Structure 1
Amino acid sequence: MVYVSITGLRIKSPLHALRFWWHAVASMAQARGADGNVSAEARSIEGVQHTLSVWRDRDAMIAYRNSGAHLKAMRVFPRIASGHTLGFESDRAPDWSTARDLWLAEEDRRRSG
């Protein structure tokens, strides 16, 4: 089993793009070097900036999430971007198409409340 994390964020304004990417690049570098990280990728799909990361376990992901560049990014992103993260245990990492579908389903669930 691995822990999968799928994030999708929309930049609120073109004025926030530079700040967004500054934090996103630093967070991705941190993820790729983090203990317990199996893989970390990013893609822009239909205006949503997605990450798909796979971890040895949830504890490894939480240790990454709550430290360094990522912690700084989490503090800034509510002001410059909107979106959400979906995390779950799985036998294997989803492909990008499946990851996107799962993220969209979670977005629909959150909107319908």
Structure 2
Amino acid sequence: MYISLTGLKPNGFLSYIRFWFLAIPSFRQAQTAEGNLHCDVKKVKEYQCTITAWESREMMLQYLRSGAHLKAMKAFKQIATGPTYGYESETIPTWEEAYVLLTEKGKMH
């Protein structure tokens, strides 16, 4: 299975509002996306984080490049910063494991 981790920090109050305006539809899209096996969200330290698990990387990319998520990605640079990390795994990480992976291996955007 393919695990996708994100940790996003909005750039200020107005960005925080816009972030949630885009994040909620993106998360709902992920929950119902073909190939999604697990979808969770939680604030960890200063980041709004997600853990998603997918049947394959290709199915995750289909989600990534469509609908509400695509709209959110186009606005990302104006509203938030933070790391993302994706990898193949047999297990879904705990929140503690996910945060360590994000901070140690994640690509900052």
Q: TM-score, normalised by structure 1?
A: 0.91
Counterpart Cα distance in 2 of 1:84 and 1:101: 11
CA distance in 1, matches of 2:21, 2:44: 19
In structure 1, the partner of 2:90 is 91
Runs of 5+ consecutive residues of structure 1 not aligned to the other structure: none
Cα offsets for 1:93-113 (capped at 9, x unmatched) = 111110111111125x86xxx
Query: In structure 1, what is the equivalent of residue 80 of structure 2?
Result: 81
| Stretches (4+) displaced over 3 A | none
3-state DSSP class of the match of 1:105?
Answer: helix
Which residue of the partner structure matches residue 50 of structure 1? 49
Rg (Cα) greater in structure: 1
**Is residue 105 of structure 2 the alignment partner of residue 106 of structure 1?**
yes
Cα drift, residue 15 of structure 1 = 1.6
After alignment, is 30-39 or 98-107 more displaced? Answer: 98-107
| CA displacement 1:4-25 (0-9 Å, x = unmatched) | 0000111111121111001110
Cα offset, 1:84, TM superposition: 2.3
Q: d(CA) in 2 for partners of 1:32 and 1:44? A: 18
More divergent stretch after superposition (58-67 vs 90-99): 90-99
SS in 2 for 1:94: coil
Q: How many Å separate the matches in 1 of 2:9 and 2:105?
A: 15
Q: CA separation in 2, counterparts of 1:99 and 1:46?
A: 12
- Unpaired runs of at least 5, structure 2: none
Coordinate RMSD, CA, aligned? 1.2
Give the Å deviation of 1:47: 1.6
1:18 aligns with 2:40: no
Name the TM-score, length of structure 2 as normaliser: 0.94
Residue 7 (1) aligns with residue 21 (2): no
Letter matched to residue 80 of structure 1: I
Q: Deviations over 1:56-80 (max 9, x none)?
A: 0001100000000000000001111
**Residue matched to 2:60:** 61
